[in-house]
Structure 1
Amino acid sequence: MTAAHAQGTCIFCRIVGGEIPAVRVYEDDAVLAFLDIRPIREGHALVMPKQHYEYYEQMPAELAASVMHTGQRLGKAVKKLYGVPRVGFMFTGTDVAHTHAHVVPMVEATDLTSRRYIVEESLTFRPLDAAAPGDLQKTAARLKAALTDY
């Protein structure tokens, strides 16, 4: 639990409770989706559990599945509505310490890599170096072993 949640100041908890307005696009007993007030693209929405969890990995599996399903449904609607080739769906874990996913209609490949909101026009991105196959195998083995705890 974050200090903000403990003090009743988590902005997303306050949105759930109706203390702060939000333009809601979907709501059920466990999940809320509303439009981002600083959208990357028109139709950019947030999907979150109503119950407070700081990070997505803290959610019970059933709730995480519900958030994912809502995001998928919303993504299909956004794709059709805006005629975009793809829709981004991401949990970032930044800005607000209440787990939430972004559903973003992607007009350009750079919509999720900050190009829409970085000021420096001369900024360029370089592709990351490919990981060595042996390193990938080692990482996979470590992740597989870690997954047995969950």
Structure 2
Amino acid sequence: MTVFSKIIKGEIPSYRIAENDSFYAFLDISPLMKGHTLIVPKEEVDKFFDVRDDMLGEWLLFAKPIADAIEKAFPCNRIGVSVIGLEVPHAHMHLIPINTADDMNFSRPKLKLSKGEFEEIQAQIISALVY
């Protein structure tokens, strides 16, 4: 069982943004930017392109209102989307508010945020979330 499966089951706490029967969205605890959110399928699949075809479209449709909410909460030029999947063997998508391509450079130092800051970011995104 991956760390993401444990987060989905509530065995590991997370800053949940949204979920449905198929997907779970939560704040990245090592964010590149404030608002950096991960979306994972609830079904444990290692690689993004091993996800069932029908779920790939559902994933993007689930992500769209979350990306809109992140952009409202953290004004930026774009919401960058990244699928790397090297650290956790569970397919996942990063949604990151960006102003330049360098904002998505994963070799950059990650933000160190307090519990209060994460809770504030979570509340900002959730309050902007419209389905």
TM-score class, shorter? 0.7 to 0.9
Q: Which has the larger radius of gyration?
A: 1
Q: Distance in 2 between matches of 1:63 and 1:45?
A: 19
Which of 23, 26, 29 aligns to 1:31? It is: 23
**Offset, 1:115:** 6.3
Please, which runs of 5 or more residues in structure 2 have no aligned partner? Answer: 111-131
TM-score computed with the length of structure 1 as normaliser: 0.68
Over the matched positions of the two proteins, sequence identity in percent amounts to 30
Q: Contact 1:90–1:102 at 8 Å: present in 2 too?
A: yes
Q: Distance in 1 between matches of 2:100 and 2:107?
A: 9
Aligned residue number for residue 22 of structure 1: 14
Residue 33 of structure 2 corresponds to residue 41 of structure 1? yes
Aligned residue number for residue 94 of structure 1: 86
**Offset, 1:107:** 3.0
Q: Distance in 2 between matches of 1:82 and 1:18?
A: 27
**What is the Cα-based RMSD across aligned positions, in Å?**
1.6
- Greater relative CO (CA pairs within 8 A, separation 6+): 2
TM-score computed with the length of structure 2 as normaliser: 0.78
Aligned residue number for residue 111 of structure 1: 103
